[in-house]
Structure formats: structure tokens, C-alpha cells
Structure 1
Amino acid sequence: MPKGLDVSRETRERLERYADILLRWSQKINLVSPHDLPHLWLRHIADSLQLAALIPSGGVSLVDMGSGGGFPGLVIACATDAHVTLIESDQRKAAFLREAARVAGVQVTVCAQRLEVADVPPAQVVTARALAPLPLLLEWGTRFLRPDGFCLFLKGRNAEEELTAAGADWHMTTTRIPSRTNADGVILELSDIRRVRDLNNE
């Protein structure tokens, strides 16, 4: 684990166990691009850890969409007391997530279904990373979000264009948080999310 990551000893140990099993499983299934494996801690783990600081304490419920190799949802589970549900339709990746959580020593729920049909209770926080354009994230994410909840989406240089596109169909309160690991990146914190057509019908 590189120096400079401000986490507790317990979190560091969980993340190190998670990283070890991810590297082993990546020899068999594509969890992370082979090109990115040497940069696993910065490009994936540290990037995902940024969201952990934005999760309220007290065991909030969290749904991570398209969890893949565990970013950001399993990293968040290692670093917070949130009750995390990971949605991943790929059965092999879902199997990895279950085993990685066991090895890391964290409790998560893995839902191996497509986002369009996944049946999980609404959560206080919904997260996603490198999954889809913002309009589609909102289409999926609002299915899993409580009315008083918020979304945290890690985005790149096209974030403003995606916000403009989403604005045609969605009204929301947007907070932009600069990424600490990617000069072109931003964390979008979105709350009070409502469809424009619903507002027009009121």
C-alpha cells in the first residue's frame, strides 16, 4: 500500500487483503485492465477511497451500481461502516466480490442481476464509477435511491457535457468536488433528483 493514504490501520489491512485477492483473480478474469494493474492503488483504490470521506457515519445504506472488481463499492465497504449492496450482473465478477469481501473481512450484499431488474431496497447513497453516461446513471440510480438520499458519481473530463445532457430530463442539486487522483476528474454529488416532466405536472 503506498504512503500518503490517510486511513486507519484496520482499513489498510482490509484494503491490502482485498488488493491481494484482486491481483490473484485478475489472472483468470478481467477485473482490471492489465495495463492498470501496476497502478492499482492510485488509479482504482485511492480513486474510490475519495468517496468514503463523503459517506455519513452511522451505518447508512449504500448501493453501488456495476461494481465490477469492487470499485468503488467494495473499497467503501472496507473504509466505512456503511451497509453496502454491490450490484454486478456478471456472475464471475459477482463471485469474486463475495470472496473478496470474505477475505477482506467486510459484510456486503452482492446482487448478481442487471441494473434494470435488480431488486434491492432503496438506499441513502448510490454510487458508480466508470459505468455509463450521467443520464443513464440517473435512470438506473433513482430506482435504488431514497427520496432523501444522494448519488456520488466519479466522472472524468466530460462531466459538464453529461450534466448538460442530463438537465434535459432531470432536475437536481449538484455539487462538484475536484478529484484528488485525476486532474481531469470530478466527483458529482447529486441530490433532490426529480424528473423534469414530473415537476411540470405538479
Structure 2
Amino acid sequence: MIASDITLAGVCKQFDVSRETTEKLAIYEALLKKWNPAINLVSKSTLKSAPVRHFADSLQLWKYRTEFKSWIDLGSGAGFPGMVLAIIASAEYPDAKFHFVESDARKSAFLRNVSRETQANTVVHTKRIEDAADLQADIISARALASTTELLSFSAPLLKKGGICLYLKGQNCQSELAEASRFWKFEAEQFASETDGNGTVLRVRDIERVG
């Protein structure tokens, strides 16, 4: 487990993030602190632990990716995990595009501001997930958004053939998977979270509705 009091620089070092990318993530963290009092992007109580609670939590998904050209982050909010991963991807996947689907106009404005300041290759869609059917991606991510059943329902129409979903889930992951299997066929892999002793990184593929 990653120490809860580690700095963002320490987190980046632990994940072997380059100096240039670390600087961009620091810009992101500064913008989060600047905007948060006005639009409540994340719980105020988590700001001090943001390097682990938000940034490391997002960074851990990177190693579970497959090759991709397009990535959709659902219910993006403050941009975790999608914006962190878009900034990381700038060096290794410069032509890949990240799509953020966020219905709140103020949060969308924040995401666009972070994208400009960090030069991340993103498009922010201010719309409900149900209205984003025109999007298609190789990878779909989500964090603290909905149950696994709902996430599969959101993701299935947007996922390209052979694509994967990466979900950050909490202590109810196992029961959620059992529930989801009543409505969906899918292949799922579970990995222990590096930031939450009760958390799970869920990698899902081959989603198909039952019946």
C-alpha cells in the first residue's frame, strides 16, 4: 500500500513518472485546489490526501491498459481517473484522444481548463452518458460512478470490439459482480488496489447482454 502522507512528487516517483509529466500533474493539483472551493470538485477532506486519494488511485490503472487510440472516461467529475491518465498518455500515446463525459457544465469547464494548462489531448462532452452514443473507444474508465451492473450498461454501447473497461471499485465489488452476472455476460479480472485496502481494480472485456 502507498503511504497516505506521501506528496504528489513522491507518488510520481513511485509510479516512475517523468519529470515533465510530474510537472503537468502538479499543475493539475494546483488547479484542483484553486477551483474546489467554488464548485466542490472533490470532498474538502480529501484535498490534503489528494496525491494518494486521487492521483495515485488513478495512476494505478495505467499498467492495466491495452493498446489504444481512444479512451472514454465516464462521469468524469474532477477528472479522476481520466485526466491523470490523459496527462500520462501525452508522452507515450501522443495521438490518442481522451473523451470525458460529464453532465455538469462547471465541472466540464474545469476539465477544459486543466486540459489547456497541461496540453492533454482531450475532448470534454457536457452531456449525460446516455446521450454519448456517438462515441466509441478502445478503453473505458470510471471511478465512484455507479454499480457494476450500471457501468456495464453505460459501457457496452461505447466499447469497440476487443476493448476493455477499467473500473475502480470498493469493498462491494464481489457482490456487484454477482449481481451484474444476472444481466450481463463478461470476462472480469480483479486486482488489489494500491491505495485502498478494500478496493479493487476491475478489468472487464467481452460484454454481452444476457438473453
Asked if these proteins are the same fold (TM beyond 0.5), I'd say: yes
Other-structure match for 1:104: 118
Residue identity matched to 1:69: A
Aligned residues: 196
Letter in 1 for 2:198: D
Is 1:141 aligned to residue 151 of structure 2? no
Deviation at 1:54, TM superposition (A): 2.0
Identical aligned residues as a percent: 40
Corresponding residue for residue 5 of structure 2: none
One-letter amino acid of the counterpart of residue 76, structure 2: S
Partner of 1:172: 186
Distance 2:38 2:134 in 1: 29
Counterparts of 1:60 and 1:175, CA distance in 2: 22
Letter in 1 for 2:86: A
Which letter maps to 1:15? L
C-alpha distance in 2 between matches for 1:84 and 1:116 = 18
How far apart are the structure 2 equivalents of 1:12 and 1:47?
15
Match of 2:20 in 1: 10
Q: Tell me the CA shift for residue 143 of structure 1.
A: 1.8
Range 4-13 or range 165-174, more displaced:
4-13
Match of 2:79 in 1: 70
Contact (CA 8 Å) 2:133, 2:157: kept in 1 or not?
A: no
Distance, in Å, in 1 between the alignment partners of 2:42 and 2:157 is 27
Report the equivalent of 1:83.
97
Q: 1:61 aligns with which of 66, 70, 73?
A: 70
RMSD value over aligned CA atoms?
1.2
Matched, 1:191 2:205: yes
Q: Point out 4+ residue stretches in structure 1 off by more than 6 angstroms.
A: none
Deviates more, 1:92-101 or 1:139-148: 139-148
Alignment-derived partner of residue 200 in structure 1: none
